[in-house]
Structure 1
Amino acid sequence: MNRKKLYKLHSILGISTGVFLVIVGLSGSLLVFGKEIDQLLNPNLWYISASKERLSIDVLRAKLKQELPSHALAGWLLSEKQNQPDQVWLHFLDSKDRKESIILLNPYTGKILGILSENRSDSFYSWMLKLHYSLLMGSFGYFLTTLFGVIFIFQGFSGMILYRSIWQNLFRLRTRQSLRTFFRIFINW
Structure 2
Amino acid sequence: MMNKKQLWKWHSWLGLYSGLVICILSFTGALAVFKVEIDHSLNKELFYVTPQEKVGNINQYIYAILDTYPEHNGYIVEPAEAVDRSWKVSFRLKEEGRNIAKEVFFNPYNGEVVGERDMYKTVSFFIRNIHVRLFDHWYGRQWVGLAGVCMLISLAVSIPLYFDFTKKQKFGKVRTKRSRQKWADLHKFIGLATIVFHLIIAITGAWLGLQPKIQKPLMGDRPGIYKPTEFPLSKSEDNRTAIDFIHLQTQVKKEFPELTSLKIKSSADGSRTVSVFGNIPRMPYERQTNFVVFDKGDLSLVYKLDLRKTGIGSHIFYMQEALHFGDFWGIGLKVIYCFLGLIGGFLGISGFFVYYKRTEKKRVQKYPLLTTSNIIYGFTLGSVLIMLLIAYSSITFGADYPTSTITTPAFYGLICIYILYRLIRYFKTKNLNHINS
TM-score (norm 2): 0.33
Report SS of the residue matched to 2:23. helix
Name 1:37's counterpart in structure 2.
Answer: 38
Report SS of the residue matched to 1:121. helix
Say whether residues 1:80 and 2:81 are aligned partners.
yes
The structure in which a higher percent of residues are helix is 2
Report SS of the residue matched to 1:139. coil
Asked whether the equivalents of residues 11 and 155 of structure 2 are also in contact (C-alpha less than 8 Å), the reply is: no
Alpha-carbon distance change, 8 to 115 in structure 1, aligned in 2, over 3 angstroms: same
**Range with greater deviation from structure 2 (144-153 or 67-76):** 67-76
Deviation of residue 65 (structure 1)? 4.5
Counterpart CA distance in 2 for 1:24 and 1:116 is: 27
Say whether residues 1:153 and 2:152 are aligned partners.
yes
Asked whether the equivalents of residues 6 and 158 of structure 1 are also in contact (C-alpha less than 8 Å), the reply is: yes
How many aligned positions are there? 166
Question: Percent of aligned positions with the same letter in both sequences?
Answer: 24
Asked whether the equivalents of residues 48 and 86 of structure 2 are also in contact (C-alpha less than 8 Å), the reply is: yes
Report SS of the residue matched to 1:76. strand
Alpha-carbon distance change, 147 to 71 in structure 1, aligned in 2, over 3 angstroms: closer
Name 1:104's counterpart in structure 2.
Answer: 105
Alpha-carbon distance change, 13 to 108 in structure 1, aligned in 2, over 3 angstroms: same
Counterpart CA distance in 1 for 2:82 and 2:57 is: 16
Counterpart CA distance in 2 for 1:142 and 1:56 is: 42
Asked whether the equivalents of residues 27 and 131 of structure 1 are also in contact (C-alpha less than 8 Å), the reply is: yes
Counterpart CA distance in 2 for 1:65 and 1:17 is: 46
Name 2:134's counterpart in structure 1.
Answer: 135
The 5 Å alignment of 1:35-74 reads 35-71=36-72, 74=75
Counterpart CA distance in 2 for 1:65 and 1:13 is: 51
Counterpart CA distance in 1 for 2:19 and 2:100 is: 39
Counterpart CA distance in 2 for 1:36 and 1:150 is: 30
Name 1:24's counterpart in structure 2.
Answer: 25
Letter in 1 for 2:29: G
Report SS of the residue matched to 2:76. strand
Asked whether the equivalents of residues 71 and 91 of structure 1 are also in contact (C-alpha less than 8 Å), the reply is: yes
Asked whether the equivalents of residues 46 and 105 of structure 2 are also in contact (C-alpha less than 8 Å), the reply is: yes
Alpha-carbon distance change, 2 to 107 in structure 1, aligned in 2, over 3 angstroms: same
Counterpart CA distance in 2 for 1:61 and 1:15 is: 52
Counterpart CA distance in 2 for 1:131 and 1:99 is: 18
**Range with greater deviation from structure 2 (1-10 or 97-106):** 97-106
Return 5+ residue gaps in structure 1 as ranges: 168-189
Alpha-carbon distance change, 92 to 109 in structure 1, aligned in 2, over 3 angstroms: farther
Report SS of the residue matched to 1:37. helix
Deviation of residue 107 (structure 1)? 1.1
Asked whether the equivalents of residues 105 and 112 of structure 1 are also in contact (C-alpha less than 8 Å), the reply is: yes
Counterpart CA distance in 1 for 2:92 and 2:146 is: 36
RMSD: 3.4
Alpha-carbon distance change, 144 to 2 in structure 1, aligned in 2, over 3 angstroms: same
Alpha-carbon distance change, 38 to 158 in structure 1, aligned in 2, over 3 angstroms: same
Letter in 1 for 2:28: S
Asked whether the equivalents of residues 103 and 116 of structure 1 are also in contact (C-alpha less than 8 Å), the reply is: yes
Deviation of residue 37 (structure 1)? 0.5
Letter in 2 for 1:129: R
Letter in 2 for 1:55: G
Letter in 2 for 1:153: L
